[in-house]
């Protein structure tokens, strides 16, 4: 077994919650780490720790990129440790307990034997892309999908925009197995990870009903994404800024009466994000709040077209 390494940096609670939502500084590195955040001392709830696990010793460029995720620790140097007797993947996943969100049970390989009989299991490794189910935004989206199904929602053409690990695309297909599902991300690494996770979860890839089609694309700028429009359900778990910027193109790709799920935004950003989509003819129909992270479900007015 090869040596493994850990680099640690102090961070704030806000940085810990947001860190996995934007790993753009890390995905282009030769060695992309597994990121974990934790609260070392519950008596100091604002003082968190970022830990990055590597399968080789991180260099200066890698550590500099890691520091961009924790601006509050600008003057701190990462503490780098060699973990020669540990399997770094197993170590990184020890703190990842399974997540129960509605009917879904999201777990790592270490908890395969813990799946409740009535649950819909989804296995996602902690790894190179965002979306293990641990973050409140992902959990909120899973709960919102479950609620849509429970209240009679039926969807046949679904887009998961900014898919991360593929988790939400897979969850949507589990709920509506006859649907066509598209999963896209601006990050090629995310699409590689999604393809790997599809195999683990026995999700068929392709363009037919009951399959997930993958695409590397910024926003909706891809021929296949445009060809598949209009969608009756779009899931966008990204960040508030891109959500606002993409509002015209996302709303245009949604069919009249279609649903839009927005996440990756903080409480104080929700009004601005919702307003951007109201200007495009959408109405807020429901929301789920997990900690500081709301998930908004909006509906496009039926009087509007989609082009």
Q: How far apart are CA 206 and CA 152, in angstroms?
A: 27
Does a structural domain hold residue 108?
no
Asked whether the beta carbons of 231 and 238 are under 8 A apart, the reply is no
CATH number at residue 24: 3.30.70
Does a structural domain hold residue 123?
no
Burial 107-120 (b: 16+ CB within 10 A, else e): bbebbeeeeeeebb
User: Is residue 51 domain-shared with residue 154, that is, in the same domain?
Assistant: no
Does a structural domain hold residue 307?
no
Helix, strand or coil, per DSSP, at residue 197: helix
Does a structural domain hold residue 143?
yes
Does a structural domain hold residue 103?
no
What confidence score (pLDDT) does residue 203 get?
A: 96
pTM exceeds cut of 0.75:
no
User: Is residue 47 domain-shared with residue 156, that is, in the same domain?
Assistant: no
Both tokens of residue 179?
């649907």
Q: How many domains does the chain have?
A: 2
Q: In the chain, which stretches have pLDDT less than 70?
A: 1-3, 19-32, 84-96, 126-135, 303-307
Q: Which letter does DSSP use for residue 257 in this model?
A: E
Last residue of a domain, one of 35, 63, 93: 93
**Residue 162 marked ligand-binding:** yes
What confidence score (pLDDT) does residue 32 get?
A: 65
Does a structural domain hold residue 242?
yes
User: Is residue 181 domain-shared with residue 290, that is, in the same domain?
Assistant: yes
**Residue 95 marked ligand-binding:** no
Structural domain that includes position 198 = 131-300
- Residues 21-42 pLDDT 10s: 555 555 556 666 777 777 788 7
What confidence score (pLDDT) does residue 14 get?
A: 84
User: Is residue 136 domain-shared with residue 244, that is, in the same domain?
Assistant: yes
User: Is residue 182 domain-shared with residue 253, that is, in the same domain?
Assistant: yes
CATH number at residue 202: 3.40.50.150
User: Is residue 78 domain-shared with residue 135, that is, in the same domain?
Assistant: no
User: Is residue 166 domain-shared with residue 294, that is, in the same domain?
Assistant: yes
User: Is residue 79 domain-shared with residue 139, that is, in the same domain?
Assistant: no
Does a structural domain hold residue 274?
yes
Containing H/E element for 212? strand 211-216
Asked whether the beta carbons of 215 and 194 are under 8 A apart, the reply is no
What confidence score (pLDDT) does residue 85 get?
A: 55
User: Is residue 286 domain-shared with residue 142, that is, in the same domain?
Assistant: yes
User: Is residue 18 domain-shared with residue 139, that is, in the same domain?
Assistant: no
Does a structural domain hold residue 13?
yes
- Residues 75-134 pLDDT 10s: 899 999 887 555 545 554 555 577 888 899 988 877 777 888 889 999 987 554 344 444
**Residue 113 marked ligand-binding:** no
Q: How far apart are CA 258 and CA 148, in angstroms?
A: 12
What confidence score (pLDDT) does residue 29 get?
A: 60
User: Is residue 143 domain-shared with residue 285, that is, in the same domain?
Assistant: yes
**Residue 185 marked ligand-binding:** yes
Last residue of a domain, one of 38, 71, 93: 93
């Amino acid at each position: 077994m090869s040596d493994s390494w850990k680099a640690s940096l102090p961070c704030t609670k806000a940085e810990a919650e947001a860190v996995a939502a934007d790993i753009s500084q890390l995905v282009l590195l030769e060695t992309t780490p597994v990121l974990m955040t934790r609260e070392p001392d519950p008596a100091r709830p604002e003082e968190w720790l970022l830990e990055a696990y590597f399968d080789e010793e991180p260099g200066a460029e890698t550590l500099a990129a890691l520091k961009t995720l924790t601006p509050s620790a600008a003057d701190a140097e990462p503490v780098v440790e060699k973990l020669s007797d540990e399997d770094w993947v197993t170590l990184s996943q020890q703190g990842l307990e399974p997540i129960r969100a509605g009917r879904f049970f999201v777990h790592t390989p270490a908890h395969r034997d813990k799946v409740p009989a009535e649950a819909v299991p989804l296995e996602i490794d902690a790894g190179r892309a965002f979306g293990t189910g641990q973050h409140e935004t992902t959990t909120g989206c899973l709960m919102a999908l479950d609620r849509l199904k429970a209240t009679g929602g039926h969807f046949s053409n679904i887009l998961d925009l900014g898919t991360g690990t593929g988790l939400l695309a897979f969850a949507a297909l589990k709920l509506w197995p006859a649907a066509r599902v598209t999963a896209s991300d601006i990050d090629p690494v995310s699409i590689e990870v999604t393809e790997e996770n599809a195999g683990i979860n026995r999700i068929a890839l392709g363009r037919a009903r009951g399959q997930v089609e993958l695409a590397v694309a910024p926003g909706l700028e891809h021929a296949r994404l445009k060809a598949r429009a209009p969608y009756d359900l779009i899931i966008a778990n990204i960040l508030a800024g891109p959500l606002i910027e993409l509002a015209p193109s996302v709303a245009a790709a949604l069919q009249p009466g279609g649903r839009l799920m927005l996440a990756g935004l903080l409480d104080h950003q929700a009004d601005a994000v919702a307003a951007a989509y109201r200007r495009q003819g959408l109405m807020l129909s429901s929301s789920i709040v997990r900690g500081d992270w709301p998930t908004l479900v909006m509906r496009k007015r039926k009087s509007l077209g989609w082009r």
